[in-house]
Amino acid sequence: MPNPSVVIVPGAWHRPAHFQGLIDELAKVNYDAVGVTMPSVDSSPPLPSWDQDAQAVRQVIMERLDAGKEVVVLAHSFGGIAMSEAAKGLGKKERAAQGLQGGIVKLMYMCSMALPKGQSHIGQLTPQTPEEEEIEKQRQELEAKFGGMEITADGALKLPKDNVHLILYNRCEPKDIERAVELLGTFPAGPLSVPVTYTAYREIPSTYIMCKNDLALRLPYQRRMIAQGEGCFDVEECDEGHSPWMSKPQFIVDCALHPTNRPPRRQNASCDPCRRSKRRCVVLPSSDGVSACANCRRLGHQCTFEFADSKSSLTSGSNKRAKYQHNATSKTIREDGCALGTSPAADINIPHDQFDPTLAIDHDILSSWLNLDFDNYLEGDSTSSTNGLDLFTSATDLSRRHTSTSGGIDNELTLHSTGFPKIENCRSFQSIPRIGFSFNSPIYLLNSGIDAKILGDRLTRIYEAIATSSASRFLEYDCNLYPSKNRYRIGENTSSSSNGSPLALPTTGLHASPLDHADTAPVQDEPAQQISLLGSVRFLDHFGDFYGNRLSAAARKRSDETLKAVLRAFSMQWLPSSNPSFEQGNNEQRWKNENASGSFIDAWVRARSLLQDAHAHNTRSFRMILATLTFVGIVTPTKIIDAEGLVPNNFLKDGLNQLCSLDQLVTNYCIDLGQSSIYGPLAEASLSIIRWAGYIRDTGAALSLDHKSILPDKWGPTRAPPNKEAIADWATCRNILELDANIQSIFRKASAETFYIWRKIINIKESVTLPHGNVADKSKSTIEAINMGIATIDEFNETYQPFISHCCYVYLYDTRPIHLLSILMNHGSVSHTMFWSLGIFLLVDVFQTATVSHLDESIAQCIGPTIRKYRDHAASIVAQVVGSVQNLPAEEVFNLQNGLGAEVPITVYHVTPSLAVTALEKAIESVIESQHTSIPQGGLREYHREALVPDGIWDHQVDILMKGLMSLDVTIGGSQTCGVTLRRLMRRHGDTLSECWTSEFET
């Protein structure tokens, strides 16, 4: 049977030429496709309705139906209205009843308007829920910021081409964006308010392609339209923006394929790399005779079907379901040949009020969410897995990789997606738990987020944006110096390294990760268990009774209330400190903004009070540990400092001691669970995340405050030297897209090295402040610590600084529009640069203290130039990055989407706001200090201020850094710290700062 024709209906402002890439992809699989020219686009005078668009679509469809062809109609955005109207009476079923050949076999709504009869575009987008009201509020803020759409002389709507790509073409490639923007036409306003007269999706089989990152037709509106369909839609989900046909055309091709020709997408028919990575596997015809799926061709992987071939003798899915319904038996055999037993399928009962996996066998969305290969479960095949019980693949995403003890690794556990841990001893099939079959399973706590009912919608989005972003940069498995043997993945990210899959080199198709040493074994292409920071806390507390931390009802309530209060105060730091756009408008809005700081102070005081109360009652839980670790990073309000002085923070020590205590309990609990446990490795991975979060706070406090580190200075057992050659290749890569895809993974490795170096600096600090020993002994230990610190810094600079400098080069000198670089790349590079540089500045402070106290002058003069070189380079690169950030287009859309103020700079995107402020303060002082001529006098340095002469370089750096510092006060947290820092800088260097400052007035 010939393939159906595909008719593509463009949305508002778009033309068929926009979809040429999709048309070409469809042609590769022998589908002829055509785009419809919409009369409303560029109409003059503007058309009052969409009826001419519907007629044009119907005409193109009829041309194919008259030829006896079947048709798939694919509509984008507003084109869904014209498609629905044009399809009236043209479904294959309706035409067959009339004795006519051909017909529409499927309608596809691609993030499109799927409206019930009587509804209009404007009516559908009228907010119906608090979430939609917040989206509308954001839209109005954007319109106030950018001025909205332009109106042509004849009254048509014209999109602003300088920033429309942020809404329509997010997640698309730069080369495609420029062309798409140039092709945009005008569109009339009239059709937006004309109701539809026909509900096509109730008569013709329909698919809705839901795009999770769509910024034009936001996800809540898409979900509401799907719900209005009352089950009429097959739903396909993707992570794309409003233009998936441009950002991921192969996904759209796969969705459009005729059911009889659609390549199997089940796990048993996927290639091995796609099966392990849960990718949609589509094998396309190839002119070169090589059988490989689209993903393997793109990624350069070897496309093998060993798992699928092993399943080729199995019966069809429908037969398996029949076996299930008729109480057939299934037998499971271990890979070593030991039978686990025979069990009637009828015994596998699922409560009627819980999800029945048999209902999701052919439902891609639910089956991928459950990660459930249910056919394996029913069949009980002996070849189901090379890792043990793959027939139980479920939401736990867990596997056990066994290696010989002679190789130095004993029963290494790794969180992947191929199955549960191998059972060490034969036991009956009935004794194996059915993990993850219930929505109430504790497994689903692991990646849980915060409920909007707790903080409200805006604060929830702020928390997710800041906490998840920072956790992805600093808590990922690749950053962790305390890693368990179980890989995990934090939040949503696209980094290959974080989930264990290999990273491609910039110019080759090698499979080895560029971050792994050549002598280490390559990491398998397997996704790791996704765990959120909050989810790990909930998961561990859930089993508190099991490991001996039984809490009373009052203690549980204190833990919950304290964590809620801390998260509220934490999130409020990123609320706008003021909103100038409302100063001359809405008085109520201005009043709210003026009181935002007061609300933050109240929230901070309440959080502190609850923490004090909980610690006084010795409330011990992982929720309390997270609350403590979070609170110590919250900015202390200036009013509190003015009233009470510098507030001592005693919570950290208590929280870390609690962590050490619970750490031992959970560790013993995991040992008791045994090697065949499913939950044991998950608990170990969760504990690893919390332990590492505590290590970060402990290290930061020990480096910058009067705090002695509590957690041990330890590098985990899996540490391997970085692959310097591969990182060097990336340091010269000029392919922005490839660099963009891999930068986050490299920065994670660099972050791990940074924490290692920070501990070396702490060793220097502690050797300087030793309470016992004579001067000679202290001097010797200090010199040893300094030399070791310098060696690790030199090694880091040799490996990573060329890459970091290259990223700064891309920022400053690349001639292409800087806004085409992804937000992920911007955040990662800026955050790490500030983080690393702050450590260097603190090293300088420690060295100066050592010089004053007991370090021999000759030794100080020998080491001093090296330390100052580090300082000058760190100050220079911070100035470069801050200058680049100031030149970046504002990320208003991204900020408002995440509940932030429109003008929040990306330097603010760190879980501890004071960190960026401190780094900038230190950078400013370092630049000024480097220009002074110093002379020793009584162990202190005295500066000749007459030697400070602006030369157009250092004074420009000071100006940039000061502007970067001042830009941070747009948030409450930034304003609380910037004011104190600015006053301190003015007292020390007021004249110099005034001399370097430039204004931006034009008259």
Residues annotated as part of the active site? 214, 242
Answer whether 328's CB lies under 8 Å from 379's CB.
no
Answer whether 250's CB lies under 8 Å from 25's CB.
yes
Evaluated on CA atoms 144, 149, 152, 157, the torsion sign reads negative
The two beta strands, 413-414 and 399-400, are: antiparallel
CA distances, 308 to each of 160, 324, 336, 419, 463 (Å): 50, 22, 21, 16, 42
How crowded is residue 200: how many other Cβ atoms within 10 Å of its Cβ? Answer: 28
785 vs 758: CA distance, rounded Å = 12
Q: Token pair for residue 495?
A: 């980094």
Query: Angle formed by the axes of helices 857-887 and 913-931, to 10°?
Result: 120
83 vs 612: CA distance, rounded Å = 62
Full DSSP string of 730-771: HTT---HHHHHHHHHHHHHHHHHHHHHHHHHHHHHHHHHT-S
Q: Token pair for residue 730?
A: 């990336």
Omega prior to 48 cis, within 30 of 0: no
Go through the chain and tell me how many residues it has: 1003
849 vs 843: CA distance, rounded Å = 10
E strand map for 288-338? 329-333
Residue type, position 986, single letter: M
Token look-up 């989005």 returns: 461
Full DSSP string of 34-77: EEPPPTTTT-SSPPSSSHHHHHHHHHHHHHHHTTT-EEEEEEET
Beta bridge partners of 218: none
Full DSSP string of 228-256: HTTT-EEEEEES--S-HHHH-HHHHHHHH
Answer whether 109's CB lies under 8 Å from 201's CB.
yes
Q: Is 171 left (phi over 0), alpha (psi -120 to 50) or beta?
A: left
DSSP state of 949: -
CA distances, 459 to each of 130, 361, 451, 467, 916 (Å): 14, 38, 10, 12, 21
Half-sphere exposure of 608 (CA within 13 A, CB side): 17
**In terms of C-beta density within 10 A (0-12 exposed, 13-18 middle, 19 or more buried), how is residue 409 classed?**
middle
Answer whether 924's CB lies under 8 Å from 917's CB.
no
CA distances, 952 to each of 808, 960, 965, 994 (Å): 20, 12, 20, 15
Answer whether 658's CB lies under 8 Å from 697's CB.
no
Answer whether 68's CB lies under 8 Å from 41's CB.
no
371 vs 207: CA distance, rounded Å = 22
Burial 218-233 (b: 16+ CB within 10 A, else e): bbebbeebbebbeebb
Q: Token pair for residue 890?
A: 């504002």
Phi, psi of 3 (to 5 degrees): -70, 145
**In terms of C-beta density within 10 A (0-12 exposed, 13-18 middle, 19 or more buried), how is residue 333 classed?**
middle
